[in-house]
C-alpha cells in the first residue's frame, strides 16, 4: 500500500512539473555536448570547436582532425549530427572569422589557412547545420596561384597575393567567439571531463562579454595597444569592461612566419588595468597567449553586475508545447526556483522578455475576416484582454514572491491572428467604439495579418482615436515593398493625419532597411526597428501615405578612424535618417552635437514629425531645415527652450542634457524603473559635478548601459556627433526592442496555439479527470491486492489446519 501511494504521488508530481529547467551554469546544450565529446575517441590531432554558426545564440559543435570532421547542432532540446565530412579539415573551422562585406553588407564566415607552402583563402556557409566551403584563392610561395574571388570559376594568375589582398580589403572583421579544445589540453588536464568543463566555461565567459571598444578614445586605444605589446599586434577584436577601469582585451596578432596572410592569424587575450586613463598611460597588462590559458574563475570575479550575462536562462523551445497560463507560470516558477541566485540586471531583462512572450502566446486567438474586412469589437477583445491581464498579474505575483524586482515594466499585449485574409487585395481593419475600454488593463492590441504583417495600437492611443471617430478604419494594401496606409472614418473619408500613432510591422531584409514615407505635405526617411529573427521592420505613423521599404546603407567618407562599435551605430542612425550627412557624404564625427541635431534626432526616433506644427521660438525661422523638428518637439513636449523665448539651436547639447533625456525616455516610454540607490550607478570621478535633478535619470541610463559609470562623466562638456549617435543608438535599441523568439501566428500547434476559456478549462478538466482516473485505478488495484492477500492468508490457514 505504501508503494502504491508513493507511485501515485510521483505520477501527480510528473503531471504538474513543467519541462526541464536550466540555470545559467546548466544550459541544456552543455550537458549534451559534454556527452558527445566524452564519447568521441580523442587522437593526437583531435580538436573540438564551439561557435555560434547559425546566429541563434546556441553554439554548434565541430569535432575532428585534419582528415575528417563531424558537425553537431542543438535543436529542440537534443543534439543532431548534421554531417560527417572527410573533405573539410578541422583547421578550416579553427581559423574561421566573421567579416562584413562592404558591398553587400552581409556578414560572412571567412578564413585563411596554411596548406604546406600555400595559403588558402576561403568562405564557409551553413545550411541546416551542414558546412560548405568555397575556396576563393590558393596562393603559392612565389605569389602565383589560382584566384576566384567574386567570380564564377578560379583562374590562374601571376600575382595571386595582390589580388587576395585587394579582395579582402573589402571586408571588415567583426567580433566572433570561437573556442577550441585540443587533445594536448585534454592530456594536460589529466581528465577529459575536467578539460570539457573548462572548455565550456571559456565559451560561456567569452560569449557573454559586451563589445565596449567604442567607449575608448583613439588615444586610449593606442595606449591599450601599447600595453599589450605593439610587436605583432594586428587589430582589436573587442574590448570589454570587467569592473572599474579593468578591461578584457581580445586582439589579433600576425605571426612573422605567416606574414603572407591578409587576415590576422591568431587571437590573444589580455587584462589591462586603468584603461580609462586620460594620460594615455594605462596600468599593467596580463597577457594570455591562448584561450586555454584563461583563468575563468579570476576573470569572472572581475566582472561587474551590469556587465554580466543573464543568469536566468529561458529555454523558449520548451514553451512551444505550452497551451495555457498555468504552463507559462509554472515554467517561470521552476526557472526562478532552480537558479538558486538573485537575478542580475540582464537576468531581469530576460524575465521581462519572457513575461511579454507568455502574455502574447497565452492570449493569442483567431479573428476571421469577412470580405477582406477585419472588425475588431469589444466582444471579441474582451476575453483575450482579460486573459492577458490575468497572465501578467500571475507572473508579477510570482516574481514578487521570489523577490525578483522589475528593471522595466513588461508590456501586456494580447494578439489577434487574422484568418481568411487575401493580401493580394486591399485589407480593411475596423476598430469599433468600446474596444479601448476593454483594453484598460493591458498595454494595447496587436493584429497579425500574416507571419510578417501586423498592426499595433496602444490602449491609450486607441482611446484617443475613439474619442475622435465613431469608427476608426485602416485601409492597408501591399504592393511589393511599398505599403499603402489610408486612415478613414465610418463614411470612408480619408484622414490625412490622425491624433494618435499606429504601429505597423512589415517585411524587411537587414538592419539597414528603412521606411521611406510619402504623405500629404512631405516625404521623409521614417526609420524603423529591424527584427532579425522575424525579418521584419516596425515603425509608427500618424499619416496616411505610402511606405516604401528600402536598403539604405550609406557610404560615409570620414568615419574610417572611428571605433567599430561607434561606426556601426553611426551607420545605423544615418540609414534610418535620424542623423544626416553633409553634401559631401561626411558625418563629421568629431563635430559638436548641436541642440538642433539632438532635437531632430529625438523627433525622428519618436516618429513625432508633424509637418503642420508651428514653433513659437523667436530664433527658429520657418525656412530652417530644422523648423519642422523643433516645432514638432515643442508640440510634443520633447524639447524646451529658454525663458527669453529662444531655442538656441546652434549651441552644443551638454552630456548631462543628452544622457538625462535618454534615461528619462526609457522610464516614461518603455517602463524602465529607477534604481533604488542612485549612488550605486554614479561611480564617476566627477559625480559631485552632476546636477541633483539629473542624477536619477543618469543613474537609470547607466543601469541600462547607455553610459559606463566609471571614469569622468563631464556633465557640462559638449558631446560629439559620434558620441551622440552612439548614446541615441543604444536608447533606440532599448526603446524598440524585438522579440526573443521567432513570431509565427499559426494557431495549429505549440506556443502559437490560440488559448480560449474553453481550451484552458479543457486543460484543467483533462488534468483533473486524469488524476481522478489514476486515483480510481490505484484504489482499485489496492482493493484487488488486499483481496488477493486475504485469500492467500486464508488458503495458507487451511493448508496449515487440514
pLDDT tens figures, 154-205: 999 999 999 998 998 888 888 889 999 999 999 988 899 999 999 999 998 9
Only one residue has cell 533606440, namely 732
Query: Which pLDDT score is estimated for 405?
Result: 85
Query: Which pLDDT score is estimated for 13?
Result: 39
Q: Across all residues in the chain, what is the average pLDDT?
A: 84
- C-alpha distances in angstroms, 142 versus 156, 161, 164, 207, 260? 13, 9, 14, 40, 11
Separation of alpha carbons 455 and 420, rounded Å: 17
Question: Exposed, middle or buried by CB within 10 Å (0-12, 13-18, 19+), for 656?
Answer: buried
Query: Which pLDDT score is estimated for 147?
Result: 95
Q: Collapsing DSSP states into helix, strand and coil, what is residue 52?
A: coil
Question: Exposed, middle or buried by CB within 10 Å (0-12, 13-18, 19+), for 43?
Answer: exposed
Residue 260 pLDDT class (50, 70, 90 cuts): low
Separation of alpha carbons 421 and 424, rounded Å: 9
* Chain segment 287-314, per-residue pLDDT in tens: 888 888 898 888 877 776 555 677 888 8
- Asked if residue 605 lies in contact with residue 579, where contact means CB atoms within 8 angstroms, the answer is no
Residue 641 pLDDT class (50, 70, 90 cuts): confident
Share of the chain above pLDDT 70, in %: 86
* Chain segment 59-95, per-residue pLDDT in tens: 999 999 988 899 999 887 788 898 898 889 999 998 8
Share of the chain above pLDDT 90, in %: 44
Query: Which pLDDT score is estimated for 640?
Result: 80
Separation of alpha carbons 293 and 614, rounded Å: 63
- Separation of CA 714 from chain center: 30
Query: Which pLDDT score is estimated for 145?
Result: 94
Only one residue has cell 487574422, namely 418
Triad 474, 478, 483: Cα angle to 5°: 70
Mean pLDDT of 677-696: 89
Query: Which pLDDT score is estimated for 752?
Result: 37
Only one residue has cell 476575453, namely 383
Helices 757-800 and 2-16: angle between axes, nearest 10 degrees: 170
- C-alpha distances in angstroms, 470 versus 7, 428, 489, 491, 743? 61, 16, 7, 10, 33
* Chain segment 503-521, per-residue pLDDT in tens: 999 999 888 899 999 998 7
pLDDT at 234 exceeding the cut of 90: no
**Which one, of 483, 453, 454, lies nearest residue 548 by Cα?**
483
Separation of alpha carbons 310 and 352, rounded Å: 12
As given in the structure block, the three cell numbers for residue 760 are 484552458
Query: Which pLDDT score is estimated for 758?
Result: 32
* Chain segment 751-771, per-residue pLDDT in tens: 333 333 333 333 444 455 566
pLDDT at 750 exceeding the cut of 70: no
**Which one, of 175, 198, 226, lies nearest residue 291 by Cα?**
198
Separation of alpha carbons 438 and 715, rounded Å: 45
**For 219-255, b where at least 16 C-beta lie within 10 A, e where not — what string?**
ebbebbbebbeeebbbebbbbbbbeebbbbbbbbbbe
More reliable by pLDDT, 57 or 110: 110
* Chain segment 429-450, per-residue pLDDT in tens: 999 999 999 998 999 999 999 9
Triad 672, 393, 663: Cα angle to 5°: 5
Residue 721 pLDDT class (50, 70, 90 cuts): very high
Q: What is the per-residue DSSP string for 737-755?
A: ---SS------SSGGGS--
φ, ψ of residue 451 to 5 degrees: the values are: -70, -15
pLDDT at 337 exceeding the cut of 90: no
Separation of alpha carbons 441 and 520, rounded Å: 35
As given in the structure block, the three cell numbers for residue 121 are 583563402
φ, ψ of residue 281 to 5 degrees: the values are: -125, 85
Query: Which pLDDT score is estimated for 756?
Result: 36
Amino acid at each position: 500500500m505504501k508503494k502504491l501511494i508513493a507511485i501515485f504521488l510521483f505520477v501527480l508530481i510528473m503531471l504538474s512539473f513543467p519541462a526541464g529547467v536550466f540555470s545559467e551554469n546548466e544550459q541544456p546544450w552543455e550537458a549534451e555536448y559534454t556527452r558527445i565529446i566524452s564519447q568521441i575517441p580523442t587522437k593526437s590531432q583531435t580538436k573540438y570547436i564551439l561557435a555560434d554558426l547559425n546566429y541563434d545564440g546556441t553554439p554548434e559543435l565541430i569535432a575532428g582532425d585534419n582528415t575528417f570532421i563531424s558537425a553537431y547542432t542543438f535543436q529542440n532540446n537534443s543534439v543532431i549530427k548534421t554531417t560527417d565530412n572527410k573533405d573539410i579539415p578541422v583547421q578550416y573551422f579553427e581559423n574561421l572569422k566573421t567579416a562584413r562585406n562592404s558591398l553587400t553588407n552581409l556578414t560572412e564566415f571567412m578564413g585563411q589557412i596554411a596548406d604546406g607552402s600555400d595559403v588558402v583563402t576561403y568562405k564557409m556557409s551553413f545550411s541546416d547545420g551542414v558546412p560548405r566551403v568555397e575556396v576563393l584563392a590558393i596562393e603559392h610561395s612565389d605569389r602565383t596561384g589560382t584566384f576566384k574571388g567574386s567570380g564564377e570559376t578560379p583562374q590562374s594568375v601571376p600575382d595571386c597575393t595582390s589580388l587576395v589582398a585587394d579582395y579582402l580589403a573589402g571586408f571588415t572583421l567583426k567580433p566572433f567567439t570561437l573556442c577550441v579544445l585540443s587533445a594536448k589540453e585534454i592530456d594536460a588536464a589529466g581528465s577529459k571531463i575536467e578539460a570539457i568543463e573548462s572548455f565550456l566555461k571559456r565559451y560561456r565567459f567569452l560569449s557573454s562579454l559586451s563589445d565596449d571598444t567604442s567607449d575608448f578614445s583613439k588615444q586610449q586605444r593606442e595606449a591599450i595597444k601599447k600595453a599589450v605589446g605593439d610587436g605583432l599586434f594586428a587589430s582589436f577584436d573587442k574590448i570589454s569592461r570587467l569592473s572599474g577601469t579593468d578591461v578584457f582585451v581580445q586582439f589579433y596578432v600576425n605571426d612573422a612566419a605567416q606574414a603572407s596572410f591578409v587576415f590576422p592569424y591568431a587571437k590573444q587575450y589580455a587584462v589591462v588595468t586603468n584603461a580609462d586613463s586620460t594620460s594615455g598611460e594605462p596600468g599593467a597588462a596580463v597577457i594570455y597567449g591562448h584561450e586555454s590559458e584563461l583563468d575563468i574563475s579570476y576573470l569572472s570575479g572581475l566582472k561587474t553586475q551590469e556587465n554580466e550575462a543573464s543568469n536566468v536562462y529561458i529555454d523558449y523551445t520548451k514553451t512551444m508545447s505550452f497551451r495555457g497560463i498555468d504552463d507559462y507560470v509554472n515554467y517561470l516558477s521552476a526557472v526562478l526556483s532552480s537558479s538558486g541566485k538573485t537575478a542580475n540586471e540582464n537576468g531581469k531583462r530576460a524575465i521581462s522578455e519572457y513575461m511579454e512572450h507568455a502574455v502574447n502566446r497565452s492570449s493569442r486567438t483567431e479573428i476571421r475576416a469577412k470580405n477582406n474586412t477585419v472588425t475588431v469589437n469589444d466582444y471579441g477583445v474582451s476575453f483575450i484582454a482579460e486573459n492577458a491581464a490575468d497572465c501578467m498579474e500571475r507572473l508579477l505575483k510570482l516574481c514578487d514572491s521570489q523577490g525578483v524586482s522589475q528593471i522595466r515594466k513588461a508590456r501586456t499585449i494580447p494578439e489577434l491572428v487574422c484568418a481568411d485574409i487575401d493580401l493580394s487585395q486591399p485589407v480593411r481593419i475596423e476598430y469599433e467604439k468600446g474596444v479601448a475600454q476593454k483594453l484598460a488593463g493591458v498595454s494595447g492590441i496587436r493584429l497579425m495579418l500574416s507571419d510578417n504583417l501586423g498592426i499595433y495600437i496602444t490602449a491609450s492611443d486607441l482611446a484617443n482615436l475613439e474619442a475622435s471617430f465613431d469608427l476608426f478604419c485602416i485601409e492597408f494594401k501591399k504592393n511589393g515593398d511599398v505599403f499603402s496606409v489610408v486612415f478613414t472614418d465610418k463614411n470612408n473619408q480619408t484622414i490625412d493625419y490622425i491624433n494618435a500613432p499606429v504601429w505597423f510591422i512589415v517585411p524587411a531584409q537587414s538592419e539597414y532597411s528603412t521606411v521611406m514615407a510619402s504623405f500629404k505635405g512631405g516625404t521623409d526617411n521614417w526609420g524603423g526597428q529591424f527584427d532579425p529573427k522575424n525579418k521584419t521592420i516596425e515603425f509608427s505613423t500618424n499619416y496616411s501615405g505610402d511606405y516604401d521599404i528600402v536598403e539604405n546603407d550609406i557610404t560615409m567618407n570620414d568615419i574610417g578612424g572611428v571605433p567599430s562599435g561607434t561606426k556601426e551605430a553611426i551607420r545605423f542612425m544615418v540609414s534610418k535618417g535620424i542623423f544626416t550627412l553633409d553634401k559631401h557624404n561626411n558625418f563629421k564625427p568629431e563635430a559638436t552635437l548641436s541642440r538642433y541635431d539632438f532635437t531632430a534626432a529625438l523627433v525622428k526616433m519618436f516618429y513625432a514629425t508633424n509637418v503642420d506644427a508651428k514653433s513659437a521660438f523667436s530664433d527658429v525661422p520657418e525656412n530652417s531645415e530644422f523648423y519642422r523638428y523643433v516645432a514638432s518637439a515643442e508640440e510634443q513636449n520633447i524639447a524646451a527652450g529658454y525663458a527669453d523665448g529662444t531655442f538656441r539651436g546652434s549651441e552644443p547639447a551638454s552630456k548631462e542634457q543628452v544622457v538625462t533625456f535618454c534615461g528619462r525616455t526609457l522610464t516614461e516610454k518603455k517602463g524602465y524603473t529607477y534604481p533604488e540607490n542612485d549612488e550605486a550607478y554614479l561611480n564617476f570621478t566627477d559625480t559631485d559635478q552632476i546636477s541633483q535633478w539629473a542624477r536619477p535619470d543618469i543613474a537609470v541610463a547607466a543601469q541600462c548601459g547607455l553610459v559606463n559609470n566609471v571614469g569622468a562623466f563631464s556633465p557640462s562638456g559638449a558631446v560629439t556627433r559620434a558620441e551622440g549617435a552612439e548614446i541615441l543608438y543604444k536608447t533606440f535599441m532599448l526603446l524598440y526592442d524585438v522579440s526573443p523568439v521567432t513570431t509565427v501566428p499559426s494557431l495549429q500547434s505549440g506556443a502559437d496555439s490560440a488559448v480560449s476559456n474553453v481550451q484552458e478549462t479543457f486543460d484543467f478538466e483533462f488534468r483533473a479527470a486524469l488524476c481522478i482516473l489514476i486515483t480510481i485505478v490505484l484504489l482499485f488495484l489496492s482493493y484487488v491486492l488486499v483481496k488477493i492477500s486475504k485469500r492467500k492468508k486464508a488458503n495458507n490457514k487451511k493448508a496449515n489446519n487440514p
